């Protein structure tokens, strides 16, 4: 082949690349770049769903399709495939796409067909501010989540540095910059800043059970003592732990353990039926069970 013919063919090839669609393993590329991994697409027309399952396509606007050549309106990435290819997506196919944010939102990621619903996660750039029920401004710093049942989860931060986890406009947990944690705050109204390390605005629950023998367990809280029982050895493994023990019989019952009261250390305590004697609360200092109250 002479030089003139080679140059002419090269120019034709370059011109084709500049103006045509590129297909790999297919004579019928459907957009700017189209790969048919299975080499099973027809020479003309749209491939079937099964034929598209091994395709990869990039459109002239930069949209990407994996397992499909048809990308939905507003989608930048569309994936169709078995669930084991996309963890945590429970349907046979899924649409994952980004939508542009408003003036308040930075961006939103949406997953369609997640258990038959649409899930969206919206990130905020900090410019969005609102007002809680008590008039203190806040900024949404984290994510907004909606699962199709009008359930929203938000992470908010006030100008003063407190952070709030909110479900459907109800504040569930609060944490201040100093590490104080608040729980049970209702409808964003009232004193929202916890003033103690743990500040619970509501009822508090603890495990309660009857024990007639054996050793008090790690997950116990209130014990209805019905026989001779023992406290676990006070150690670094249970330091600061608190137990409540109360006599639940008409007879006196003995609790064994390393007790400390008024500087004195003793190995057992008897619960009787008198006021101030039928129950005690103890707390571990890592070495002994300190009797902190009698009732």
Burial 35-66 (b: 16+ CB within 10 A, else e): ebeeebbeeeeebeeebbbbbbbbbeeebebb
pLDDT bucket at 182, cuts 50 / 70 / 90:
confident
Tell me whether residue 294 is exposed, middle or buried, using C-beta atoms within 10 angstroms of its C-beta: 0 to 12, 13 to 18, 19 or more. Answer: middle
Among 121, 102, 103, 101, CA closest to 111: 121
Q: What is the predicted pLDDT for the residue at 179?
A: 84
User: Is the pLDDT reported for residue 185 higher than 80?
Assistant: no
pLDDT in tens, 20-31: 688 899 989 999
Percent of the chain with pLDDT over 70: 62
- Give yes or no for a contact between 125 and 119, defined as CB atoms under 8 angstroms apart: no
CA distance 69 to 8: 34
pLDDT averaged over every residue in the chain: 77
User: Is the pLDDT reported for residue 57 higher than 50?
Assistant: yes
SS3 247: strand
Q: What is the predicted pLDDT for the residue at 100?
A: 47
- Give yes or no for a contact between 219 and 250, defined as CB atoms under 8 angstroms apart: no
Average pLDDT (115-135) is 51
Q: What is the predicted pLDDT for the residue at 169?
A: 66
User: Is the pLDDT reported for residue 89 higher than 50?
Assistant: no
pLDDT in tens, 212-267: 999 999 999 999 999 999 999 999 999 999 999 999 999 999 999 999 999 999 99
Q: What is the predicted pLDDT for the residue at 46?
A: 92
H, E, C per residue of 57-120: EECCCCCEEECCCCCCCCCCEEECCCHHHCCCCCCCCEEEEEEECCCCEEEEEEEEEECCEEEE
Q: What is the predicted pLDDT for the residue at 111?
A: 53
Q: What is the predicted pLDDT for the residue at 6?
A: 57
Q: What is the predicted pLDDT for the residue at 153?
A: 63
Average pLDDT (151-156) is 64
Contacts of residues 76-81 at CB distance under 8 Å and 24 or more positions apart, as own/partner, are 80/52, 80/53, 81/53
């Amino acid at each position: 082949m002479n030089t003139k013919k080679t140059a002419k063919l090269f120019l034709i090839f370059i011109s084709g690349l500049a103006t045509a669609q590129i297909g790999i393993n297919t004579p019928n590329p459907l957009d700017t770049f189209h790969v048919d991994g299975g080499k099973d697409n027809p020479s003309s027309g749209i491939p079937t769903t099964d034929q598209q399952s091994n395709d990869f396509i990039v459109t002239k606007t930069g949209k990407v399709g994996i397992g499909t050549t048809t990308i939905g309106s507003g989608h930048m990435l569309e994936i169709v495939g078995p669930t084991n290819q996309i963890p945590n997506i429970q349907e046979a196919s899924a649409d994952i796409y980004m939508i542009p944010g408003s003036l308040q939102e930075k961006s939103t990621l949406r997953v369609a067909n997640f258990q038959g619903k649409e899930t969206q996660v919206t990130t905020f750039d900090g410019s969005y501010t609102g007002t809680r029920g008590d008039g203190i401004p806040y900024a949404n710093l984290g994510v907004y989540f909606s699962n199709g049942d009008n359930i929203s989860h938000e992470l908010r931060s006030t100008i003063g540095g407190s952070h709030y986890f909110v479900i459907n406009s109800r504040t569930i947990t609060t944490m201040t910059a100093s590490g104080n944690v608040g729980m049970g705050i209702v409808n964003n109204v009232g004193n929202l800043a916890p003033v103690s390390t743990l500040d619970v605005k509501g009822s508090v629950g603890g495990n309660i059970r009857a024990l007639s023998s054996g050793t008090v367990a790690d997950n116990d809280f209130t014990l209805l003592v019905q026989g001779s029982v023992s406290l676990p050895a006070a150690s670094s493994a249970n330091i600061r732990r608190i137990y409540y023990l109360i006599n639940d019989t008409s007879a006196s019952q003995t609790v064994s353990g390393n007790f400390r009261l008024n500087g004195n250390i003793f190995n057992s305590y008897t619960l009787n039926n008198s006021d101030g004697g039928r129950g005690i609360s103890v707390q571990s200092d890592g070495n002994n069970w300190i009797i902190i109250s009698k009732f």
